[in-house]
Amino acid sequence: MTTAVTELYDALKQAGVPDDVALKAAQSVSGSDLSHLASKSDLHQMETRIIKWNAGTMIAMTAIFGAIVKLL
């Protein structure tokens, strides 16, 4: 068990939770699925993509605005 799980187990035991229930609760926390969490790398990649899309959109809107002004 990891340190956090051991600490949770100890805290549950001190709170008077039965041994088997405390063990099951601590084990369920250790088995939680962390695959849905974003890492710093994931966040950096997302930030880069958002910046690229924003820059592209601003360039396109400027070109469209320039074309409209030229037509008028």
Same domain, 45 and 19: no
Residue 16 has φ and ψ, to the nearest 5°, of 95, 15
Measure the CA dihedral 54/36/6/26, to 10°: 140
Global pTM value: 0.51
Domain holding 3, by residue range, is: 1-35
Same domain, 23 and 46: no
C-alpha–C-alpha distance, residues 67 and 72, integer Å: 9
* Closest to 2 measured CA to CA, from 24, 22, 32, 30: 30
Measure the CA dihedral 20/22/28/30, to 10°: -120
Same domain, 50 and 31: no
Same domain, 31 and 42: no
pLDDT digits (tens, 9 = 90+) for 14-42: 999 998 998 888 888 776 666 778 899 99
